Structure 1
Amino acid sequence: MHSETAYEITTLTPQTLPGYGPMLPHEIPPGVQMVTLPGGMRTLAYTQPPAAPAPQPVPVAQPIPTWAKTTALLTPTIGGGVAAAGIGLSYAAPGLIAMSQALWAAVVLIAAGAIALPLLLGTSRSRTGRAAPTQITQNITATGLFSRAKGTINHH
């Protein structure tokens, strides 16, 4: 716990100073004022002079950076380009929609062909009544490490 020592403020009255009377206002030195204490007694006391406000800095005109000038000059151009692209897309939208539908139709046609073609080929082969495919066997023999290989081919 913090405790502070209480100091009693005592003042000298004109009766306690022999030969001195109350001071006249022009005799009070600078920085000293007549104050009233909480007990109602009036006395002279040093006061803090009010702090002078700091002077406001004078704004200095600074040049505009080059990047800011360039950006400011390009902004209308970029905005105009975006607007022109938007108008062009709005005119092209019906054609783009038709092309996208045509592309989807082409994708479906290719997928259907990839599925249907093997099925059609498989059914057409089974209808022709062909026999099973011919099997070919091959026998190869060699007698030594560097000898000539001999073989036979059989068709069944």
Structure 2
Amino acid sequence: MSTPYEITTLTRTDHPNPPAHTVRPPLAPAEIPPGVEVVTLPDGRRTLAYTQPPAPGGPTPAPAPAAPPSPGVPAWAKTTALLAPTVGVGIGAGGFGLSYAAPGVLAMTDALWAAAALVATGCGGAALLLGRWRNRAPAQITQNITATGLFGRANGTINQ
């Protein structure tokens, strides 16, 4: 399996005219060593690059990548256009399901109101019964507190 490598080149932007020692004349086809080929970069420039010959009987090299999408339609618009039918179908299915579930939902709300009324009635009845069963005699509490001196300790008793 051949591994694709990204080809990058270093371009200097600090000199409008590169020094003479960095400019090399192009190589003649006979001077190109084996395993090196002239390749065209994505921006259109041609340069030399090391390549690996395909193994005999091995996989063929991957085809060139497809051309980039047309600049007229942005990617977000395409994504939205593809998602719109999905969202619409989802909303339609939800409405269809609710129409089937409506009788059950209405029955459940009636049952919940009945349960709430039962709980409220039970709590009210329990409060009434506890009020009647409680001892109606008023509680009488007597306290006797004594203290001696200005800073003396207070003692007291509570009688019911």
Scaled by the length of structure 1, the TM-score of the pair is 0.48
Scaled by the length of structure 2, the TM-score of the pair is 0.47
Higher relative contact order (CA 8 A, sep 6+): 2
Q: Which structure's CA Rg is the greater one?
A: 1
